[in-house]
Structure 1
Amino acid sequence: MDRLLSIEVFVTVVELGSFSAAANVFDITPAMVSRHVTSLEAQLGGTLLARTTRSMKLTELGDNYYKNCKHILGLLNDANAGAEAMTSKPRGNLKVSASLGFGALELAPKIAQYLKLFPEVNIELSLTDRYVDIIEEGFDVAIRIGELKDSSLKARKIANFELIMCASPEYLQEHGTPQTPEELIDHECLEFTSWASNGGWHLIGKTKSNKVPRFIANNGHALRFAALDAIGLILQPKGLLKADLASGQLVEILKAYAPKPRPVYAVYPSEKHLAPKLSSFVDFLSNSFNNQ
């Protein structure tokens, strides 16, 4: 059997804790995973994993062998990354994580443009508002909004994220135009579910109220439709509302009180060599967002 593959399978079994999980990673059967481990044990003349029907545990030999194999695979990955970085043409698979709103609205169109320019790159985009551990979950790059926590990851600023306040002309004609944040307490303010207790309208300085919002949603597009139908005021990303502003269907309000723009970063593992597919993607995003 391919010894390097057997080592990769063994390391995966140890890290995932089961033969079945490792089998899914390599798209083989659990029986084939067992054959890989057994082959290594035969070559080494000892047991790597003490196995029963209910549990699996590294032996002393297995623990030492796992640590050495993990180090060797890391060196091999570095060597492959360095060789790939020396080639000039981006190619291969790129796994990208981003938040739901920014990812669908701002990032997805940029990805489509990038794919046209680099036909040998394939991108898998995963959108979620939870915090993603890009190392543990196997992402090449994550797009994150706001100041970053201390991390061993590298980060590059690619854009600014702006929130703006708007309302339809019909709403303003009926209810008046607020001139200060204090006046927001007298208006219907459409609420975004994911806002923290000190986020959203409170960033503007809106006084807290016991009034129940008429419409709450976890999707910016849903709030946009409500604003267009004069249900209330909306606070959402500029990218979502700019077409409606241009057409006059929405009017920006309280511009002087808008939240300070937040930086948008591309975050990726701290490696010695960036593969062309990753470096070209980050470069493209930075140039594209900053030149629009």
Structure 2
Amino acid sequence: MDRFASMEVFAKVADLGSFAAAAEAADISAAMVGKHVRQLEGHLGVRLLNRTTRRQSLTDAGRSFLERTRIVLAELEAAEAIAADSRARPRGELRINAPVSFGTYCLSPQLPEYMAANPEVTVRLTLSDRVVDLVDEGYDCVFRAGTLHDSSLIARGLRPLKLIPAASPAYLERHGRPEHPSDLARHACLGFSGSALEERWTFDGDAGEVVVPIGSRFSANSGHALRQAALAGMGVIHHAEDLLAEDLASGRLVRILPDWRSERPLHILYAPDRRLTPKLRSFLDFAATCFGNARDQGASRA
């Protein structure tokens, strides 16, 4: 006989006060209730209930066992719920927010694969370069580029965004080609407004890290606007490789400082009190597969 089932029956007897009431609640016979209780007592070697013709009451051993039984049954219920969740198919509306350039050039091309694998999920993707309020604006998860500020959100680290400094051939012909990051201080740099990239650019090379303060006659909070400015010869752009890839391949823009690296952190965030539903869990796993970082140690507070 299933010991967990016997413990459930025993708890019902203790709560309801009689075999008959427990039998009705469990939809079994009173004789079967008695059999469950006797099996537990035989296994434990102690009497759990004092029996009279009208009512049953707990012994001291029965009270102690009941307390632990409730804990065990609660843990069993929780474990079964987790297992049920893992079996459940992802379904429902999934609301995602991402930066414009990343969402356009990196995330959007991957979403058909996710949606094909999860046909019962409806995706609502919003692209914005402002910092949205995940909870107040009702998002399930958000992608965020740049250094995270203290918050109550859970963050999963993804592969950093690779930034490329570039300029048009016409600009470089007029102003010369920077040979070192410090040379950028004398160039027209196109800053990404509302972020640290409006004031300073950071590069890593064999000699270590170099932080360059920049001056921006023109800045914008849109990678597309900065790209258009760079194509028009207005200055040096420093933006995600995916945004600039076609222009670099065609020669409309020319990469500068090829021996220097520049990256921007990327995370996916969700609320700690938001239950990891199958749809959210499936998307977090998908994002980690597509944009994961081998150095990532899992989720952490943002």
Alignment partner of 1:254 is 2:230: no
Query: Would the alpha carbon gap of residues 193 and 145 (structure 1) be closer, same or farther in structure 2, given more than 3 Å must change?
Result: closer
Residue deviations 1:249-271 (CA, integer Å, cap 9, x gap): 32211234443x23322212335
Q: Does 1:148 align with 2:151?
A: no
Sort the Cα spacing of 1:197 and 1:228 in 2 relative to 1 into closer, same or farther, 3 A: closer
Instruction: Give yes or no for the alignment of 1:172 onto 2:172.
Output: yes
**Aligned residue identity for 2:257:** L
Quote how far apart the aligned CAs of 1:208 are.
5.3
Number of residue equivalences: 210
SS in 1 for 2:247: helix
- Aligned pair partner of 1:270 in 269, 272, 280: 272
Q: Give the alignment's Cα RMSD to 1 decimal.
A: 3.3
2:229 to 221, 226, 230: 226
The residue that corresponds to 1:28 in the other structure is none
2:239 match: 236
1:100 aligns with 2:100: yes
What displacement does 1:197 show? Answer: 7.9
Give the letter aligned to residue 249 of structure 1: R
Per-residue Cα deviation, 1:66-118 (whole angstroms, up to 9, x for no partner): xxxxxxxxxxxx99x85862434221111112233333333233224322332
- For residue 158 of structure 1, report the CA deviation from its aligned partner: 2.7
CA contact (8 A) 2:191 2:197 kept: no
More deviation, 125-134/197-206: 197-206
> For residues 281 and 92 of structure 2, what CA distance do their matches in structure 1 show?
13
The answer to whether 1:193 aligns with 2:193 is: yes
Q: Could you tell me how far 1:219 is from its partner in structure 2?
A: 1.7
TM-score, normalised relative to structure 1: 0.60
- Counterpart CA distance in 2 for 1:264 and 1:208 is 23
Q: Distance in 1 between matches of 2:259 and 2:191?
A: 21
- Residue 178 of structure 1 and its aligned partner are, at CA, apart by 0.8
The one-letter code sitting in structure 2 at the alignment partner of 1:233 is V
CA positional deviation for 1:177: 0.8
**CA positional deviation for 1:202:** 7.1
Unaligned runs of 5+ in 1: 1-77
**Contact (CA 8 Å) 1:99, 1:144: kept in 2 or not?**
yes
Contact 1:192/1:200 (CA < 8 Å) preserved in 2? Answer: no
| Distance of 2:194 and 2:131 partners within structure 1 | 13
Distance in 2 (alpha carbons) for counterparts of 1:184 and 1:93: 46
Distance 1:122 1:225, change over 3 A: same
**TM alignment of 1:87-166, pairs within 5 A:** 87-166=87-166
Q: TM-score, normalised by structure 2?
A: 0.58
Verify the 8 A CA contact 1:84 1:275 in the aligned structure 2. Answer: no
Deviation of the 1:137 alpha carbon: 3.0
SS at match of 1:109: coil
Q: How many angstroms apart in 2 are the aligned matches of 1:198 and 1:231?
A: 15
Tell me how far apart the structure 1 counterparts of residues 195 and 151 of structure 2 sit (CA, whole Å): 24
Residue 47 of structure 2 aligns with which residue?
none
Q: Structure 2: give runs of 5+ residues left out of the alignment.
A: 1-77, 204-209, 294-302
1:282 alignment partner in structure 2? 284
Q: 1:152 to 1:208 in 2, by over 3 A?
A: closer
1:95–1:138: 8 Å Cα contact kept in structure 2?
Answer: yes
Q: Distance in 1 between matches of 2:155 and 2:122?
A: 22
User: Considering only CA atoms, is the larger Rg found in Structure 1 or Structure 2?
Assistant: 2
- 1:206-226: CA deviations, max 9, x gaps? 4555xx72x433321122123
Q: Secondary structure at the match of 1:157?
A: strand
CA distance in 2, matches of 1:154, 1:127: 20
Percent of residue pairs identical? 43
Q: Sort the Cα spacing of 1:84 and 1:142 in 2 relative to 1 into closer, same or farther, 3 A.
A: farther
The structure whose residues are more often strand, as a share, is: 2
The one-letter code matched in structure 2 to 1:252 is R
